Amino acid sequence: MSTQLNIAQETAKPVPGSGFIGSTDDQDVLLEISNLSKNFGGLQAINDVSLNLRAGIITTLVGPNGAGKTTLFNMITGHIPPTEGNVHWQGESVIGKAPWKIARQGIARTFQDLRLFTHMTVEENILTVMEPGSWLWQPGGKSRKARRYDKVSQILERTGLTDKRHTRALDLAYAERKFLSLARIMATDSRLWLLDEPASGLDPNSYNLFLRLLREEVKEGITVCIIEHNLDIVVNISDRIAFLDQGKLLADGEPETILNDPALAAIYFGER
């Protein structure tokens, strides 16, 4: 509860263009994307997209393959510079910042192709994320170190990877790899999670575990933006839906509104 209040306070200054005044559901904008565009040579992967991610909710980014969803993530996290436009994180522009700095400001992400640290063990994968010091030692000494190991154990427990603690990432099964990529961002103290197709290909049990984790984290105050095709996530989990097609943001609103729009449904279900 107190973290929720903090979020409200920190973001309680008017953010440009967020429609802050007088509107109840426009409060607590954590991340503001304004007029963002990206050209790859002649291809316009993202075309003048403006979108707000609100604190404490799940925003789902939907759209056909090649719509530009991953590219949008890449620009938010600094992996790809935009051609035009801006991204504000808690009121401050992140454009031009190194990805590791953006990450340390509280934006965590997973990758569609996971990008685990393949030759490291599950434990090392998680531990390294909690070690921000770049030099030869970590601040905080033995007690902090012990706390890091405790946190690894907790995360392993929650993601069902306890038995795999000393297994190398490349020796994991598919679902386990996906949970490791989640575990890696659970280890950060980030406020915003950008998840790139985290549920795709999960068996029903794994999928339910994933949903439970997601709900728990949101309850703890994590804000989530998730790229997903899975209709269950789109309909039942999302608080808001942003619909992207061919680099353009076609709609952004409550799930019912979006799904009841026949034109969008046609694109979504591939009936163009």
Partner 1 sequence: MTAYILNLLVLISVYAILSTTLNFIIGYAGIFSLAHAVFFGIGGYTAALVAMNVTPEFFVAVPVAMGAAAVTSLLLALPALRVRGEYFVAASLGLQVLAVTLFSEWKSFTGGIGGVIGIPAVELFGYPVYKPWQFLLMSLICLATIIVITRTLVHTSFGRSLKALRDSESAALASGKNITVIKTLSVVLSSSLAAAAGALYAFYMSFINVESFMLDTSVLVMAMVIIGGTATILGPLLGAALLMLIPSALTYLSFLPQTEIGSIQQMVYGMAMVLLMIFRPGGIVSSHPGGSK
Ligand X SMILES: Nc1ncnc2c1ncn2[C@@H]1O[C@H](COP(=O)(O)OP(=O)(O)O)[C@@H](O)[C@H]1O
Give the footprint of partner 1 on this chain (CB under 8 A): 77-79, 98-100, 103-104, 108-109, 111, 115-120, 124-125, 127-129, 131-138, 170-171, 184, 188
The closest of 229, 201, 224 to 214, measured between CA atoms, is 224
How far apart CA 265 and CA 245 sit, in angstroms, is: 12
Q: At its nearest, how many Å lie between ligand X and the CB of residue 137?
A: 36
Using the rule CB under 5 A, is 74 a contact of Mg ion? no
Contact stretch for ligand X (CB under 6 A) within 68-76, 81-89, 158-166, 216-224: 68-76
Residue 54 DSSP SS3: strand
Q: What is the CA radius of gyration of the chain?
A: 19
Question: Within 13 Å and on the Cβ side, how many CA atoms surround 198?
Answer: 27
Q: How far is the CB of 48 from ligand X (least distance, A)?
A: 15
Token readout for 104 is 């340390």
Are 29 and 18 contacting, i.e. CB atoms less than 8 angstroms apart? yes
Point out which span in 50-58, 108-116, 152-160, 200-208 binds Mg ion (CB under 5 A). 108-116
Tell me the closest approach of the beta carbon of residue 84 to ligand X, in angstroms.
16
Query: Using the rule CB under 5 A, which residue among 11, 59, 70, 188 binds Mg ion?
Result: 70
Tokens read off for 203 = 């068996």
Q: Which residues bind ligand X (CB under 6 A)?
A: 40, 43, 45, 63, 65-71
